[in-house]
Chain A
């Protein structure tokens, strides 16, 4: 049975698109058939994070308006068999698609994929409504900052009001050194405040920046973020994976990089 997962956060810039790209790629690496849909109409980014920006012909709005078939708009990622991207339109706005059209589109594509992952725009307006319309499961992305957590809480309330079956939390950009010093909320604090199940902690890692620059998701690499995203993918498909303690490794690496910075 296919699952439709929306990746959302409320606040912008917390890592929805990065999470989408990595979870989608990671699931494809686990042998699943995955479709990524970028619902951020007017501000499309998932294509560039995935490194597929040069292959766009048609987009989500074209499909919704019936200008092309869904199959024509979907871009197959050649690096990962089973992974497809349905890009968003760059020159339109959020009102170009209605929630009913999204539901219809997802219903139509559901039987071809194991997972459909929707990249939700920031905010709680039309774009958010479009993104959640066809989904039955959500990954809420937050960073351990007051503004992101407050927005995540609002989003969780809205998802609960829309009868979502499963809402899981991804804590992004956690800095273990700051947590240790007491200057950042710990993952336990964030889970306690938001009170939804935790599905993954992604440490603040420069490898994410590097991989985004290159257009190749970090998932599965032997970096901290790569491993964290791989574990999230295993948990998404229902496997139990222990949470890795990056604390030791991280403080070691900060020490090493610290030495170089001083020189």
Chain B
């Protein structure tokens, strides 16, 4: 997995910290990995109607970020979808 290889350059302490940050946010919002998978599949389904995407390397995460105007960090959904071909969308061919 690409992500894994990328993290291997980091020290194990930083790996632990980053894993925990992601894990705890999904723990706190009570969102199971299965649910994250369902969200991922649904989003992939919708986007695939318009363009060809790489579903294998797609990432869905809930992370915390400072919102504009808000004093506290709030959770937000982060989706990273690699596009394989913009023009080859199935409905464009019809």
Contacts and interface: CB of A to CB of B under 8 A. Distances in A.
Contact of B27 (A153, A178, A192): A153
Contact of B17 (A150, A178, A181, A189): A189
A223 interface: no
Q: Which of A145, A153, A179, A181 has the most CB of B within 10 A?
A: A153
A43 interface: no
B11 A181 contact: yes
B13 A150 contact: no
Contact of A157 (B11, B14, B17, B28): B28
B21 interface: yes
Interface residues of B, number: 13
B24 A153 contact: yes
B28 A182 contact: no
Contacts of B21: 193
B16 A146 contact: yes
Nearest to A154: B27
B20 A193 contact: yes
Given A150-B24, A150-B27, A153-B28, A183 B12 contact: yes
Interface residues of A, number: 18
Interface in A6-47: none
24 contacts: A146-B16, A146-B19, A146-B23, A150-B23, A150-B24, A150-B27, A153-B24, A157-B28, A178-B13, A179-B13, A181-B11, A182-B11, A182-B12, A182-B14, A183-B12, A184-B13, A185-B13, A185-B16, A185-B17, A185-B20, A186-B13, A193-B17, A193-B20, A193-B21
Interface of B: 11-14, 16-17, 19-21, 23-24, 27-28
Given A146-B23, A153-B27, A157-B28, 4 more contacts: A150-B23, A182-B12, A183-B13, A185-B20
